Amino acid sequence: MSSEVYIVDDDKLARESLAWLIDTVGLRVKVYESGFSFLDDYRDTMAGCLVLDVRMPALSGMDLHIKLKQLGCRLPIIMMTGHADVAMAVRAMKAGVYDFIEKPYNDSLMLERIQSAIAFDLDTRKKQERELEVKTRLAKLTPRENEVLHYILKSTANKNIAAELLISIKTVELHRSNLMLKMQASSATELVRLALIAGFE
């Protein structure tokens, strides 16, 4: 799914003007008049970034952020506020908000932030995909191959692995070539890299 900018602001003029502004850089925009309408529309597959107004009736920007976090949403969030409030900004950043911007904002600054948020999102998603792929490959390994993989990651020689597992060197070599094939790794170094992506120690 391609990236989109989701704007949540109760003020029509504010959200539509922002959408209009974002339109000039050719990004796709979706506007919501409240936090609830965004939650209704929310899909796990949404990509891009979320621009939220802090001060909204019913569901405030911060509340929506907390709700989304509970849903496991990884969209980077840019908060907008009408008046600078250092305490609130600090709170928002600590809660994991991607950025905090003060209204009225400079157009290029806003667009730059949005683009950086989208890039961040893309990056995260790529990483996620890669991790998922490596994990599926790992799942294909037999228990014995898994054992051998652990020894390889500790850079143990085949001879020693055979001694440890009480099997012949030939068998170890067979397991090794099999798992390299399954993991789609051409060398031991690549195997280590894949293991790191998958979260191996």
**Interface residues with other proteins (CB under 8 A)?**
11, 13-14, 16-18, 20-21, 23-25, 55, 82-83, 103-108
61 vs 148, beta carbon nearer other proteins:
61
53 vs 145, beta carbon nearer other proteins:
53
Sheet holding 4-8, edge to edge: 28-32, 4-8, 48-53, 77-81, 99-102
Helices (H), 75-186: 86-94, 107-139, 143-153, 158-165, 169-183
Cis before 104 (ω within 30): yes
Which pair of structure tokens corresponds to residue 141? 């390994």
For the chain, how big is the Rg over CA atoms in Å? 24
Name the minimum Å distance from CB 145 to other proteins: 56
Name the minimum Å distance from CB 3 to other proteins: 20
Name the minimum Å distance from CB 42 to other proteins: 25
Name the minimum Å distance from CB 37 to other proteins: 18
109 vs 157, beta carbon nearer other proteins:
109
